[in-house]
Chains A and B, each alone.
Chain A
Amino acid sequence: MKREEKSAVIQNLLMGNKALLIVIALGVILSIASPAFLTSSNLLNVVRQVCVSTLLSIGFTIVLSSGNMDLSIGTLMGLCGMILAKLVKEAGVPLPAAILIVFGVAVFGGLLNAAILSLFSVPAFIVTLATQSIFKGVNYLISDLVPVSGLPSELLFLGQGYLFGIPVPIYIMLLVVLAAWVMMNRTKFGRYILAVGGNAEAARASGINTKRINFGVYICCGLCAGVASIIMTGRVGSAQVGAGVGMEMDAIAAVVIGGTSMSGGKANVWGTLFGCLLVGIVNNGMNLLGINPNWQVIAKGFLILFAVIIDVVSARAQAKRLNRIAQMQNS
């Protein structure tokens, strides 16, 4: 029994952070393969590049852990970025006020998803597929398909600047990751999210206002898209019409690689961060080794498959172990 338990602890630890293990393993391989990899400027570059997708993925992790889905997160980010650029460039709104308005838009986007869901109880997959298209269309409308550039330097600083030698987006990203971890693991709200994601009916019978939790979850997700839009716009230096399109798929990939269950009830916030880093490192490594960039897309596909297969195999192993323990207790 004791040894069974010990090995179970180790197995859980490894499986809970398999993305981190792969990150380390890959890091070692790449440092040997390319001397350019293990330099502080390259590493910071990798992290900076995954900031936007990490922010979206964190939002996605929260939604997924509540047993829901949000396909609109990418285009909501694109819309927020366009509104931000229009506000500061054309309407002359000061940046802090513009950011507040953008947060308002992001919250509204989340509320819209949650409201449709709770009013009509349609599958979240369909609802957010629809709002994905709506957000994209509104973006096209207000931009008239013309990108907005020439943005103020304060905004560029948020996307490109450095503080104590470290890119500003990294601070923002880490702050959000930390906040999300605290929320999911230390607050009542986070516990309720996991309860609803694990068993919505049982959660309701335990006195949880499941509708309110769903609203909260989508607001959090919207806010993540809002923060991501600021960094995105600042980094690119302009608001692009197609920004964010398809990024929800990257988010799904990272979250799955990071080990958050697609069926709800679990949130591996750090895993999501490592999942994003893993995708970033693979891309970076292939760049450094001079591999045709088209291979990066294929590599991401393999990463997803790899992560999912590991999940399935480890779940099987765990079920076997539980069975063995049960049998031992019976006899």
Chain B
Amino acid sequence: MTDHKGQAGKPALKAESRVYMEDTILRMQGIHKWFTGINALHNVDFELKKGEVRALIGENGAGKSTLMKILLGIHQVDAGEIEFMGKKVRFREPKDALDAGISMIHQEISLIPTMDVAENVWIGRENKFSKGPFINVKARYQATKDLFEQLGIHVDPGKQVSVLSVAMMQLVELARAVSYNSRLIIMDEPTSALTNEEVELLYSIVRKLTKQGVTVVFISHKIEEIFTICDSVTVLRDGQHVRTCLLNEQIKMEELIQMLVGRDVSHSFVKQETKIGDVVFEAKNFSRKGVFQDVSFQVHAGEIVGFSGLMGAGRSEIARAIFGIDRPDSGQLFMHGKEIRNTEPRKAIRNGLGMVTEDRLRMGAIYTMSVKHNTTIADLFRMTKAGFVKRGEENAEFRRMSEKLSIKYARESDLIKSLSGGNQQKAILGRWMLTKPSFLILDEPTRGIDIGAKMEIYQLMNQLAAQGVAILFISSEMPEILSLCDRTFVVREGRLVHETDRAHTTQEILAEYAFGVSRAKE
């Protein structure tokens, strides 16, 4: 299985295997991956030809990263086979993949900022330039310089990485990948931080590499850009392979978007009709410099308003500022027509807001605490007498919530981290139901939880809306938005770019506005 190991560090062998190689460089077949009960990848096939540039696209959570992480050995495959350069492989860690000729450039920069460029490029391979314990710094510098010249990168190898722009750092990472003689380079949204000129530079480097027979995979969210640089595209959706095809004139952007979102929208769950009441919450010209601008919207009693769009579009940032976690720069907020100022979450809570935050691990659950204490923490100030917790009341309130939400746990004193993701999320939801907010923000409340728990959370949202709670529902999953929201805003680059009501919301519209594809016929 791990026959690539004997090959590590022996370029002669590699050259030999190139003779054997046909056109196909990578073949992943029948890939399955489960994450604690969730089928993250289901029977995915993925094949790459030598020298092609392949786009890998899909919505958040479609399985793009998981597939690539399996290839690199960051995750282990549960079923399926991987063949690279004609040999069966199964890498245990990225180092093995790197040695075999696969490297990945992640979205997050993985350079060491306090070291210089040359040191970063050759890190871990210092013995190439060393005699005994001493490193020949000059030789390393020259090797880096040669490498950069060959690629057309204009960076002084002696510069400290921390002074480089993000774009330059990405190019340095790319150069490092090339220096490993990688035959397959995976780039995770490489252009997201680049200016147009830098993107051009990147493209020219990519073209140079493909001429040398290097294969490149582009994970991207920008539909337009993949048409410029990629030869072919693979679309993943919900962990399944949808289609792989060449990118030529015959395929249109709209088609790709339909593949992305899928046509069979399961309306298995629909929001019940509720009486839409008066305006509960309103934001006017709400802005935070460089994050979101000019956000204005209203939410009525009994209404579920959706924020759709891609991760990083600014949806969570708007919600965080509304709830007082971050500071806005300008704009006004109103509850029931009265202006409020949420300078801290505790003020927002007293103003009748509640928020299930996006990142449960970092912002939601307190892992050192029990499920009970996690559920009651936001409402604890109401359950005290002279500073002492009224334990009878706390127990009663917790039990009421855990029954209502059917939270499953062995003992109330169990740490919340011992619960399943769905039950953790239900406990966090319970935390906010206890405070009885009139405006509740739910930021990706169903991410990473199983379908059963999802359904229960939808049910609860329905109940809350029926009780007259105004709900702001942020989600990357379009089916959720379609089936639950009375009105939906699409957020892109920090702005509310589109508003639709239930009757007019389709996945295609949401995707078009989210991806920024201009609708020519309008």
Contact = CB atoms under 8 A, between A and B. Distances in A.
Interface string A66-103: 00000000000000000000000000000000000000
A208 B323 CA distance: 13
A198 interface: yes
Contacts of B388: 186-188
A206 B345 contact: yes
A204 interface: yes
A192 B391 CA distance: 15
A264 interface: yes
A205 B384 contact: no
B357 A199 contact: no
A330 B78 CA distance: 15
A322 interface: yes
A122 B416 CA distance: 30
* Most chain B beta-carbon contacts within 10 A, residue among A191, A194, A202, A322: A202
A235 interface: no
B368 A264 contact: yes
Interface stretch (B22-30, B110-118, B372-380, B455-463): B372-380
Among B345, B355, B366, B381, max chain A CB count under 10 A is at B366
Nearest to B411: A5
Interface of B: 36-37, 323, 325, 344-346, 348-350, 355, 357, 362-369, 373, 377-378, 380-381, 384, 387-389, 391, 410, 418, 431, 435
Contacts of A266: 368
Given A195-B369, A205-B355, A266-B368, A188 B431 contact: no
Nearest to A4: B410
A202 B374 CA distance: 10
A208 B346 contact: yes
A330 B387 contact: no
Contacts of B418: 322
Contacts of B384: 187-188
A189 interface: yes
Given A189-B387, A191-B380, 5 more contacts: A187-B384, A198-B367, A198-B368, A198-B369, A202-B365
A326 interface: yes
A188 B355 contact: no
A266 B366 CA distance: 11
B377 A265 contact: no
Contacts of B369: 194-195, 198, 265
Contacts of A191: 373, 377, 380, 389
B151 to A, nearest CB: 41
Given A188-B387, A205-B323, A199 B36 contact: no
Nearest to A182: B388
Contact of B389 (A188, A203, A208, A209): A188
Interface string A93-115: 00000000000000000000000
A330 B381 contact: no
B390 to A, nearest CB: 10
Contact of B349 (A187, A188, A198, A207): A207
Given A188-B380, A191-B373, A322-B418, A205 B357 contact: yes
Contacts of A264: 368
B387 A207 contact: no
A199 B366 contact: yes
Nearest to B378: A206
B378 A186 contact: no
A201 interface: yes
A204 B349 contact: no
A199 B367 contact: yes
A169 interface: no
B366 A207 contact: no
A326 B389 CA distance: 33
A151 to B, nearest CB: 36
A316 B350 CA distance: 42
A197 interface: yes
Contacts of B391: 186
A331 to B, nearest CB: 11
Interface in A137-168: none
A207 B437 CA distance: 13
17 contacts: A188-B387, A191-B380, A192-B380, A195-B369, A198-B367, A199-B365, A201-B363, A202-B364, A203-B366, A204-B344, A204-B346, A205-B345, A206-B378, A207-B348, A207-B350, A208-B346, A326-B36
Contact of A330 (B37, B344, B378, B380): B37
Contacts of B357: 202, 205
A203 B373 CA distance: 12
Contacts of B323: 205
Contacts of A192: 380
A205 B428 CA distance: 12
A209 B380 CA distance: 13
A187 B394 CA distance: 12
B387 A195 contact: no
Contacts of A261: 368
Given A206-B431, A207-B345, A209-B346, A199 B355 contact: no
A186 B36 contact: no
A204 B363 CA distance: 9
Contacts of A195: 366, 369, 373, 377
Nearest to A264: B368
Contacts of A189: 387
Nearest to A212: B346
B65 to A, nearest CB: 23
Contacts of A203: 366, 377
A188 B366 contact: no
Contacts of B355: 205
B36 A330 contact: yes
Contacts of A5: 410
A266 B431 CA distance: 21
Interface centre among A207, A261, A264 (most CB of B within 10 A): A207
B349, B350, B381, B389: most-surrounded residue (chain A CB, <10 A): B389
Contacts of B365: 199, 202
Contacts of B345: 204-207
A326 B35 CA distance: 12
Contacts of A187: 384, 387-389
Given A188-B380, A188-B381, A207-B345, A202 B373 contact: no
B363 A194 contact: no
Nearest to A208: B346
B303 to A, nearest CB: 24
A96 B375 CA distance: 44
A265 B380 contact: no
B483 to A, nearest CB: 28
Contacts of A322: 418
Interface in A311-331: 322, 326, 330
